[in-house]
Structures are given as structure tokens and as C-alpha cells.
Amino acid sequence: MNYFMRKTKLSSEKKYKILEFLKKLPHEEYRIAKKKLPLALKVSMRTFERWLYLKKEAKMEVSADKLAIISNFLELDSIDELINYEVKQFNKKELQEIESKDIDLIKELNLIK
């Protein structure tokens, strides 16, 4: 596997594209962002670094308000651009089906008196 393929594979395994967008900044802006964004987000440098390299399967999440701050700094249209995984979407009918399935399961397992 060549370097380019490995690099693409690694970036696709990340949960967020924060680092990808940061690397597109001019060098001086990148340095400032890496130093000052954690302060603006009120998180430790270590936490911010973890967010940059989080794998898709990781349980850790970056909260929406923090993603909004990062998105605004990077001048993105929405926080969705930072998310590197599919977010499940439900319509009204699907939500109603989930509720009825849960109720049926509760009844089936005799979890209500």
C-alpha cells in the first residue's frame, strides 16, 4: 500500500474531519488554531488532540456546541462538514414504529405490572 492510499485510509477512519480542515489552513493560522482552539473550547490540549485522532468506532463524542465553535472558526457552512460518519435520520413514521416496537417488547418481557 503506497503512502497516499495509507493516508487516505487513515483519514477515512477518523470520526471527525477537524484535523483535515486544520491542515488546509496556512501554516501560521494552523499553529495558532492548534494552540488557541482548546482555550476557546474550554478543553485541555490533550482532549483537543484526542478529538483530532478519534476513530469512528470510539465512544467519545465532541459535543455539538464545541463542533459549532470549530465549524465557525473554520468558516464552514455547518458542523455536518466536520462529521466523518453517517448520522441516522428518522422520519415521523419511523419514530412511531420505534415506540411501538419498544412497547411491544416491554409487554413481551413482562416489564410492566
- The pLDDT score that the predictor gives to residue 97 is 75
Residue ranges of domains in the chain, CATH in brackets: 3-85 (1.10.260)
Say what the pLDDT of residue 44 is: 97
Note the pLDDT of residue 93.
Answer: 82
Low-confidence stretches of the chain (pLDDT beneath 50):
8
Closest CA to 24 of 66, 62, 81: 81
pLDDT for 111: 58
Do residues 62 and 38 make contact, with C-beta atoms less than 8 angstroms apart?
Answer: no
Opening angle at CA 98, ends 57 and 113, nearest 5? 115
pLDDT tens for each residue of 82-92: 999 887 777 88
pLDDT score at 113: 54
Question: Which residue type does 73 have?
Answer: F
* pLDDT at residue 89 in the model: 79
| SS3 category, 47 | helix
The x, y and z cell numbers of residue 40, run together, are: 476557546
Claim: this prediction has a pTM higher than 0.75: no
Distances (CA, A) of 14 to 7, 25, 29, 61: 11, 19, 22, 12
Amino acid, single-letter form, for residue 33: A
For 83, phi then psi, to 5°, come to -85, 130
